[in-house]
Structure 1
Amino acid sequence: MTTLPSSSPASPASADASQSTSAAPAVPPRRRALVPRGRFAFVTGILSWTLLIASTLFWCALLFPLALLKLALPFAAARRRIDPLLNGIATAWISGNAGWFAWIQREPWDIRGHQELRYADWYLVNCNHQSWADIFVLQRALNRRIPLLKFFLKQQLIYVPVIGLAWWALDFPFMKRHGKAELRRNPALRRQDQETARRACAKFSLVPTSVMVFAEGTRFTAAKHAAQASPYRHLLKPKAGGLAVALNAMGDKFRSLIDVTIVYPQGAPGFWDLACGRAGPVLVRMRQLPVPPSFCNADYGSDKAFRTEFHHWLARQWEAKDAEIDALTPPRRG
């Protein structure tokens, strides 16, 4: 594991956070949009959907034969050669999508903090979650700057036509979600999820990979925020389990944890807004945080002292993130 020369995230006023929140975001001047706005936004959205579907089918047609080859040759030596090809196909798909979405947006996106990232390395990425558009924002902001992002997905998503098989071929981990009541009745289910994540991370250790986690576990809404009685203004309470398991499984591989904050000053857009070219301004802030060496060997499931320490470590990050979002969000009128 590489030790980064960055300050500890022990305080919301850390150097990394203060640099990104000390001044108002300098958004570049607007450029002329490719497509008309207003009543033609619907046509833009349909065209975006059509291009996305066509691009997905094209790249999946190239991906599936390699996936079958990997299935027939389940050896580490074969995976080291086939996985980069599969990841390269997915990266090309993302580049095409990102290029189109960037072209139809009215406002340029303001992305900062990505300068020191390296493509040929391992990263753990943590981000706040507001909309399905977040995934496209992350892919555009980090594509070709770090290895392909691998998400933890709900088990049901493997049945999504075409793309579900693509996620499987790319080794995206599929997790079963269990409610608190179900876990209380059968605590062994928690261990099953941890073992699934651990096996997925073991595959990631063969070639450089970026493991992506939305620590909130779900998209932010005002109703969820109120139901949780979240202590944060702009965030739900973070769930530590996924991060802890990833660190325990391959923490010594990660160069750093990339803490990403996405802010939509005009409100979080849905995917349809993004497809129609009306996502509004998008601000992305990143900072690299060192991975504490002790986190790479501790067992989150059985070590109560470690769980307490890990929750405090994540809470400090969430306090800094909440303050950063507050600084980048314009005050509401009225």
Structure 2
Amino acid sequence: MLRILPGPLQGVIMALLLVINTLFWAVPLFALVLLKLLTPPRGQLRSRMSRAVAWVAQRWAMMNTVFGGALLDYTIDARIDADLHPDGQYLVCANHQTWNDIFVLMATFGRRAPFFKFFLKQELIWVPVLGLAWWGLDYPFMKRFSAEQIRRNPALKGKDIETTKRACQRYRDQPVMILNFLEGTRFTPAKHERQQSPYTHLLKPKAGGFAFAMSAMGPKLNALLDVTIVYPDGACGFWDFLCGRMHRVTVDVRQLEIPAAFFVDSYETDAGARARFQQWISALWRDKDDRITALLAEAGPR
């Protein structure tokens, strides 16, 4: 345990361990990425290389959680009501409060499910080491355009949708867990107030990208996983986590059935289908908001 050390020293040691672990696994990962570039874009060989890259990434994640679990003073109360398999295909929707959510999800799912992928802002491709790793793992990089940019150049409209569809088509023949933070950003009280969100603990969900991912993956999806992350003592930043200031996390995972119509309806062109999907997401989000309230009350003060 590092908890006997001053917080900042804990943070430095943990950060160093995570950097060393990242650089260690980056060597085989980048070697596989280079080999992957030499394979035909479609076919079994490319699919096998993608699986190999994901295998390396999952081992990197496992070692991160081993360090955290062994050296820091926190507990994750993982409540998983779902049938998970490493070779499955899952679509995940989760609330988002801090960068620690990623670490918590790595620890929660471990090897029980495929290594997760999520949509990233295009600027993150320039993050040292990780940017190239995410690219090799087929993470879709999204470039969002403002209403003003689309007005000046209408051809930009729908570019994110095209990226979503292309990415999901690549995943159809390999194990995958696609993670989507429906709020589109981390929850903060300021954002909550600015949005005038109707939810107590959540920002308004953005249904579009989730709908396109669901449609592109199709009925081959094994399940939709609804993940609720709760920090009973309040969410903290990643540096605070490394310094040992995160102590309790509850992760509630439910397996939900996807209405069959969502696989065939056109969210983009059918206004009725779009309204039905948004109503479904709103109901899901209201239920999640109530569940967060209940989980916080159950946990009580530390």
1:222–1:71 CA distance, 2 compared to 1 (3 A): same
- Residues 251 and 291, structure 1, Cα contact 8 Å, conserved in 2: no
Matching residue of 2:32: 66
What amino acid maps onto 2:88 in structure 1? D
* TM-score after normalising by structure 1: 0.86
Give the residue type in structure 2 aligned to 1:43. L
For residues 98-117 of structure 1, what are the structure 2 equivalents within 5 Å?
98-114=65-81, 116-117=83-84
Q: Calculate the aligned-residue CA RMSD, in Å.
A: 1.7
TM-score by length of 2: 0.94
The 5 A counterparts of 1:46-85 are 46-73=12-39, 74-85=41-52
Matched residue SS, 1:317: helix
The answer as to whether partners of 1:191 and 1:301 remain within 8 angstroms in 2 is no
Name the aligned partner's letter for residue 119 of structure 2.
Answer: F
How far does the alpha carbon of each residue in 1:102-149 deviate from its partner, in whole angstroms, 9 at most, with x for none? Answer: 123323211102552222110000000000111111111112111110
Partners of 2:101 and 2:260 lie apart in 1 by 30
- Three-state SS of the structure 2 residue aligned to 1:299 is coil
By how many angstroms is 1:167 displaced?
0.2
SS state at 2:251 partner: strand
Report Cα offsets for 1:73-124 as digits up to 9, x if no partner: 1232112211111111001000000111112332321110255222211000
Distance 1:160 1:260, change over 3 A: same
Q: How does 1:171-210 map to 2 (within 5 A)?
A: 171-210=138-177
Q: Structure 2 unaligned segments of length 5 or more: list them.
A: none
Counterpart of 1:215, as a letter, is L
Q: Which has the higher contact order (CA 8 A, sep 6+)?
A: 1
Alignment: residue pair count = 299
Deviation at 1:251, TM superposition (A): 2.4
Aligned pair partner of 1:273 in 237, 240, 245 = 240
Matches for 1:1-334 after TM superposition, within 5 Å: 34-37=1-4, 40-73=6-39, 74-114=41-81, 116-330=83-297
**CA contact under 8 A between 2:180 and 2:210: conserved in structure 1?**
yes
- 1:223 partner letter: A
Summarize deviations over 1:266-319 as a string: whole Å, max 9, x none.
110111122122212100001000111111122211111111000000001100
Moved more, 269-278 or 306-315: 269-278
The CA distance in 2 between the partners of 1:59 and 1:292, in whole Å, is 40
Q: Deviations over 1:244-264 (max 9, x none)?
A: 110111121211110000000
